[in-house]
Amino acid sequence: MQRQGLVAWALALPFLAIFAVFMILPLVGSLAMSFTDMSSRDVRTPFAVNLVGFDQYAALFADERFVQSLLNTAYFVGVGIPITIVVGLALALAVDAGIARLRAVFRIGFFAPVVTSIVAVAIVWRFMLQSDGIVNSMLAVVGIDGPQWLTDPAWAMPSIIIMTVWRNAGLIMIICLAGLQAIPPELQEAASVDGAGPWTRLRRITLPLLRPTILLGAVLLTVGYLQMFEEPFVMTGGGPLGATTSVSLFIYEQFGFGDYASGAAAAYVLVVATAAIAAVWFRMLRSRVES
Amino acid sequence: MTGRARVRGPRTGSRAVTLALTIGLALTLLPFAWMTLASFKTPAELSIRPPTWWPLQPTFENYTEWLTRLDFPLHFANSAVVAVFVVLGNLVFCSMFGYALAKLQFRGKRALFLLVMGTLMVPGIVTMIPLFVLVANLGLVNTYPALILPFVATPLGVFLMRQYMLAVPDSLLDAARIDGAGEFRILFRIVLPLCGAPLATLGILTFLSSWNNFLWPLVVAQSQEMYTVPVALSLYSIGPGGIQYGLLMAGSMLVLLPILVIYLSLHRFVMRGMTATGGPSLADATDR
């Protein structure tokens, strides 16, 4: 056993060494940095900085730009996640109920946006959403006067959410399809024999049994959506009037200004938010499994 | 799976659903179609209002511009080099650590596993600034190692390999141990040859996330000859001067083509990996 322990550590060492230097160290460093006044001038002397306690956090919450980025991120997460889940779930149910032979085509097609580079597709969407672009010209065909998608402060975030739902609904679909496969068909058949219509079966059998799957999807989306960056960076630059500046974009801007400590503090606000929301999802998951 | 919806008169129902899905799929693929068609248009044609779909005089100008004048082959090579090393690193390091976690007994095993998995949900941007300070002090800013090293040891890979290796029967390993084989030999000669599926899944997922990776390369690749493809594309898209959408559509095509080819030929592994381990958001969270 003693020897096996040594061999095990030897096998683990390359991973752990890299992981410690490039993950754990920056993770701890970011927390430490958030209690200092570190700036880009201190890059070469990262330990010669002054401790300032919670000053960076206090300054953040007094900073309108940060508060707005927090609210924008909350908007994006709060609206984007439910819509993504509803669309993804609807796709999964439809693909499951549709003609069996075409199932593979739909799975592959609807999932395709998930694997794409956000930068590339965000550029395509920015082009399509120009005020005189192809989307508005298609809407005009059906008599709708499309909005100034990315240049109207009220429409910029909805535009980004639409693109994000387009890109991520396929992921929820695939997760839900896997969950649907795990529901024994006998349950549905028995309910059907008892006179339950499709709507009742959906509400009483399918959705309750899919609940853990949906919550898993919610956890994934929470982690991803809270760090939204490429979408506003490419599509709006955070504008108009800061309407799409996310917390990640704010951190990137602080980094650009050389205000490292402030960026690190904002990053830890994001960590706390992620942990808090994930904890809610996990609690919902557990309470249901137990009951 | 089969016949679930067939319980009562569902034929017409399933046809209506399929029709709706077909329309939905067409809408989903519309951005790809628009990108493809627009990439073959001249600037003059792109400025027609209202916009038209089919290129009247298809041109390869946008592509030749990327390939000859805008250093695209260089950015492409950067992305490829980084992705290959990221994939190889993950395959090797995650297999080794995953094997130790799945099949060997050692002190601190559980704590280590929890520590590594605990970082799965950490937003990638949290490590960005200290990582930059670290890389700057190592003198690695604007180098390949800076683009590669932070991504070669991912929790996602450890999770995948460990889960799969847990299912490899111990009797197989014990037989080899009795024959005097060491653990390294057992891992590389017996266990890994059985791990084709998770290795393929891990390789493809890490390739995709490396290829699409944006924030860190944007920060650490500071001169044009170190840009990866998404960085180059994004900087052209927000750069000064007029925005040439034909050029950008061609650039997006060039970024997406390798990904879509891999996806269409290996979609089973991609989907399996993403559903089994927590999707691209988790992969992104660890890979940025």
Cβ within 8 Å of residue B109, ≥6 positions away: A8, B100, B101
ipTM: 0.90
The per-residue pLDDT string of chain B (288 residues; one tens digit each, 9 = 90 and over) reads 444 444 444 456 788 888 999 999 999 999 999 999 999 998 888 888 888 888 888 888 889 888 887 788 999 999 999 999 999 999 999 999 999 999 999 988 999 999 998 888 888 899 999 999 999 999 999 999 999 999 999 998 999 899 889 989 999 999 999 988 888 999 999 999 999 888 999 999 999 999 999 999 999 999 989 999 999 998 888 765 567 888 899 999 999 999 999 999 888 888 877 776 554 333 333 333
Whether residue A221 and residue B281 make contact (CB cut-off 8 A), yes or no, is: yes
Do the domain assignments include residue B213?
yes
Q: A280 and A288 in contact (C-beta within 8 Å)?
A: no
Identity at B214, one-letter amino acid code: F
Cβ within 8 Å of residue B272, ≥6 positions away: B197, B201
Do the domain assignments include residue A253?
yes
User: Could you tell me the pTM of the whole model?
Assistant: 0.89
Query: A209: burial class by Cβ within 10 Å (0-12, 13-18, 19+)?
Result: middle
Write out chain B residues lying below 8 Å of A47, CB-based: none
Paired strand residues for A36: A51
CATH number where A212 lies: 1.10.3720.10
Residues of the domain holding B177: 61-287
Do the domain assignments include residue A212?
yes
* Cα B120–chain centre separation: 16
Nearest to A29 among B130, B211, B279 (CB): B130
Instruction: Please give the structure tokens belonging to residue B10.
Output: 């569902």
Q: At what angle do helices A260-290 and A247-257 cross, to 10 degrees?
A: 160
Do the domain assignments include residue B105?
yes
Paired strand residues for B129: none
Whether residue A29 and residue B215 make contact (CB cut-off 8 A), yes or no, is: no
Residue A159 CA neighbour count, 13 Å, CB half = 33
Do the domain assignments include residue A19?
no
CA-wise closest residue to A171 among A101, A113, A228, A230: A113
CA-wise closest residue to B210 among B95, B93, B86: B86
Do the domain assignments include residue B3?
no
CA-wise closest residue to B92 among B161, B142, B16, B156: B161
Whether residue B256 and residue A111 make contact (CB cut-off 8 A), yes or no, is: no
Helix (H) or strand (E) holding B15: helix B11-38
CATH number where B225 lies: 1.10.3720.10
For A10, A11, A252, B101, B109, the CA distances from A5, given in Å and listed in that order, are 9, 10, 43, 11, 10
Residues of the domain holding A222: 29-290
Do the domain assignments include residue A41?
yes
Do the domain assignments include residue A1?
no
Domain count, chain B: 1
Do the domain assignments include residue A94?
yes
Do the domain assignments include residue A270?
yes
Do the domain assignments include residue A18?
no
Do the domain assignments include residue B7?
no
Domain count, chain A: 1
Do the domain assignments include residue B41?
no
Whether residue B280 and residue A14 make contact (CB cut-off 8 A), yes or no, is: no
Write out chain B residues lying below 8 Å of A43, CB-based: 133, 136-137
Instruction: Please give the structure tokens belonging to residue B88.
Output: 């190889």
**Could you tell me which chain A residue has the CA closest to the CA of B103?**
A8
